[in-house]
């Protein structure tokens, strides 16, 4: 089961980042402007945002295994269409189809995993999910750069096809068939509001840094998205059977975990994306060297997740998460002092340290988030959690892009000094996450820590 889910989640998350390194090649091949090529990313993100709200209801209606395998097949087929695209509109259309598959894939997979394993074993599930959600974007620049340098941009999509086919065959043979839950009426108004609101908000934050925040399309979609999401929140809390049960955010631990994953995702993507930009634009190195400079983050996560998984039952989530956020604050402050002649090996060492810190946040958050969520509500909870995580990643990058643009002024290439403010802003977001972490009660997550350690922590509080 874990193998099938790991393959699907890795592909869907990596494809959010791997296309970044191909934008220049796509622009040359299709004779398109950067703004036009940006739709290859924007269309994918908007499609994911539109489909996530439907994932919980669809999984309950049709059965999670059936929905997951269908989304895996759709992702593989649309990846082949992306690779075969002969024009930019064809590629954007195929990316929208690919985003639909990716949007269903991750929340449904997470729901299946958390339902299949008892709470005391969720730290092991969280370790696997953390590795995938962090390793995929961290390795994407290296994989993408190598494929484009050695082959062509077509291969960043084509590589998904054999992986998707193998995972699909494996899933058909070995995944247990989950029966549908009690059928519920489809909440069409809620779905329209949630999908339109999320898609509009992500369009705004995706195009704002390049088109300008005051551009009519950017400002208009931003206002519309905010209004649609506000109306959706009101509708969801009043509806007896909403498409997404936002009332689950009334659970203190789940709500706090959603806030913390947003802060950690922003700080993580901030370090990943803007360190790559810092060494490329500020230092003038190649895209592949840039990817290799940020890659130590992935190595650290692979190593430290083993340690965090062993500590979690004994220490509990609060101390681990707080330590991780504190590490993110310290390392981002250290990165804010990097200059034009700072050794790249020092930068790589700091990226390794960020990987260590991120593991101490994301793994405990993933393990504790659903401790008090019932199996019936798990599908909706994972959809909310995933939507928040994906949105935080996009909005965090947009926020830090605005900070970078403000520090760059009219210069074509961002100076090294402009990145100092970016890292300090990222440190501020991590400090906010630290404040949230200090409000976590280990007793609320006792069921995920194992009987012996959970009861000991409960007595201590």
CATH number of domain containing 83: 1.20.1250.20
Confidence of residue 62 (pLDDT cuts 50, 70, 90): confident
The residue out of 178, 200, 218 marking a domain boundary is 178
What is this structure's pTM? 0.78
Do 163 and 261 belong together in one domain?
Answer: no
- Is residue 208 domain-resident? no
pLDDT recorded at residue 457: 47
Query: DSSP 3-state assignment of 229?
Result: helix
Residues 6+ apart with CB under 8 A from 277: 404, 414, 419
User: Would 411 be classed as within a structural domain?
Assistant: yes
Torsion, Cα of 263, 266, 270, 272 (10° steps): 100
Distance in angstroms (rounded) separating the CA atoms of residues 171 and 7: 11
End-of-domain residue from the set 148, 178, 208: 178
Query: How far apart (Å, rounded) are the C-alpha atoms in residues 102 and 447?
Result: 30
The helix (H) or strand (E) run that includes residue 55 is helix 39-62
pLDDT of residue 3: 67
Asked if 312 and 364 count as a contact pair (C-beta separation under 8 A), the reply is yes
Instruction: Give me the domain span that covers residue 116.
Output: 1-178
Mean confidence (pLDDT) of the chain: 80
Cα separation, 231 vs 96, whole angstroms: 26
Give the separation between CA 401 and CA 181, rounded to whole angstroms: 43
* Contacts of 238 by beta carbon, 8 Å cutoff, 6+ apart: none
Residues 172 and 256 in one domain: no
168 in the same domain as 32: yes
Would you say how long the chain is, in residues?
461
Q: Is residue 62 part of a domain?
A: yes
Please answer whether residues 159 and 305 qualify as being in contact, where contact means their C-beta atoms are separated by less than 8 angstroms: no
Report the pLDDT averaged over residues 169-188: 75
Mean pLDDT, residues 382-408: 77
Question: Are 253 and 173 in a shared domain?
Answer: no
The CA angle 222-228-234, to the nearest 5 degrees, is: 140
Q: What's the rounded mean pLDDT across residues 437-452?
A: 80
- The string of pLDDT tens digits covering residues 302-355 is 788 778 888 888 888 899 999 999 999 999 999 888 877 788 888 889 989 998
Q: How many domains does the chain have?
A: 2
Q: Assess whether 302 and 439 both reside in one domain.
A: yes
- Is there a domain that residue 196 lies in? no
Q: What share of the chain is helix, strand, coil (3-state, %, to 5)?
A: 85, 0, 15
- pLDDT score of 80: 92
User: Residue 320's pLDDT is what?
Assistant: 93
Rounded CA separation 207/213 (Å)? 8
Question: Cα(321)–Cα(361) distance, rounded to whole angstroms?
Answer: 4
Residue 439 lies in a domain: yes
Confidence of residue 134 (pLDDT cuts 50, 70, 90): low
Say if residue 27 is in the same domain as residue 140: yes
Helix (H) or strand (E) holding 456: helix 451-460
CA dihedral (384, 386, 387, 389) positive or negative: positive
Q: Does 171 share its domain with 294? A: no
Place of tokens 């659970």: 251
Sign of CA dihedral 47, 176, 11, 80: negative
**147 shares its domain with 263:** no
The verdict on 26 and 162 lying in the same domain is: yes
Model confidence band, residue 119 (pLDDT cutoffs 50, 70, 90): low
Asked whether residue 450 is domain-assigned, the answer is yes
Over 50: is that where the pLDDT of 17 sits? yes
Residues 171 and 268 in one domain: no
pLDDT score at 330? 93
- Choosing from 178, 212, 238, the residue where a domain stops is 178
Cβ-contact 81, 133 below 8 angstroms: no
Region 282-300 average pLDDT: 75
Give the lowest-confidence range in 88-92, 178-182, 190-194: 178-182
Give the ranges where 175-286 is alpha helix by DSSP (H). 188-211, 216-238, 252-277
Q: What is the pLDDT of residue 459?
A: 45
Encode pLDDT of 19-44 as tens digits: 776 766 777 788 877 667 777 877 88
**Which of 10-19, 176-185, 228-237 has the least mean pLDDT?**
176-185
146 has pLDDT over 80: no
Q: Is residue 262 part of a domain?
A: yes
**Is residue 139 very low, low, confident or very high in pLDDT (cuts 50, 70, 90)?**
confident
Q: Determine, yes or no, domain membership for 293.
A: yes
């Amino acid at each position: 089961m874990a193998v099938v889910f790991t393959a699907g989640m890795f592909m869907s998350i990596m494809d959010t980042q791997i296309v970044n390194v191909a934008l220049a090649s796509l622009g040359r091949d299709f004779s398109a402007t950067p703004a036009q090529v940006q739709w290859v990313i924007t269309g994918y993100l908007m499609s994911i945002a539109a489909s996530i709200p439907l994932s919980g209801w669809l999984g309950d209606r049709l059965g999670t295994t059936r929905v997951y395998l269908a989304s895996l097949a759709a992702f593989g087929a649309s990846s082949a269409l992306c690779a075969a695209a002969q024009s930019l509109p064809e590629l954007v259309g195929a990316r929208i189809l690919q985003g639909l598959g990716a949007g269903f894939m991750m929340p449904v997979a997470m729901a299946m995993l958390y339902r299949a394993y008892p709470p005391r074993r969720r730290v092991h599930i969280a370790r696997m999910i953390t590795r995938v959600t962090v390793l995929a974007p961290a390795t994407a620049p290296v994989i993408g750069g190598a494929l484009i340098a050695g082959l062509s941009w077509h291969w960043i999509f084509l590589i998904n096809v054999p992986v998707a086919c193998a995972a699909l065959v494996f899933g058909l043979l070995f995944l247990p068939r989950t029966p549908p839950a009690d059928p519920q009426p489809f909440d069409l108004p809620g779905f329209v509001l949630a999908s339109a609101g999320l898609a509009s908000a992500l369009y705004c934050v995706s195009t704002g840094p390049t088109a300008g925040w005051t551009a009519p399309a950017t400002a208009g979609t931003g206002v519309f998205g905010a209004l649609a999401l506000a109306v959706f929140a009101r509708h969801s809390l009043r509806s007896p059977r909403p498409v997404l049960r936002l009332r689950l955010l009334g659970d203190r631990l789940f709500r706090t975990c959603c806030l913390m994953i947003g802060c950690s995702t922003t700080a993580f993507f901030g370090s990943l994306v803007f360190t790559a930009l810092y060494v490329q634009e500020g230092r003038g190195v190649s895209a592949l060297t840039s990817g290799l400079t940020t890659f130590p983050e992935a190595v650290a996560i692979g190593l430290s997740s083993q340690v965090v998984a062993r500590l979690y039952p004994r220490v509990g989530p609060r101390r681990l998460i707080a330590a991780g956020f504190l590490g993110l604050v310290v390392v981002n402050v250290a990165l804010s002092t990097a200059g034009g002649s700072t050794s790249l090996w020092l930068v790589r060492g700091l990226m390794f340290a960020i990987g260590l810190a991120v593991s101490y946040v994301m793994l405990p958050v993933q393990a504790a988030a659903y401790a008090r969520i019932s199996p019936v509500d798990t599908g909706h909870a994972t959809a909310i959690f995933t939507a928040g995580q994906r949105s935080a990643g996009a909005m965090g990058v947009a926020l830090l892009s605005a900070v970078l643009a403000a520090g760059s002024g009219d210069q074509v290439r961002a100076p090294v000094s402009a990145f100092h403010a970016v890292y300090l802003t990222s440190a501020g977001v991590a400090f906010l996450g630290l404040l949230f972490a200090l409000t976590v009660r280990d007793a609320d997550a006792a069921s995920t820590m194992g009987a012996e350690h959970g009861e000991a922590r409960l007595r201590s509080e």
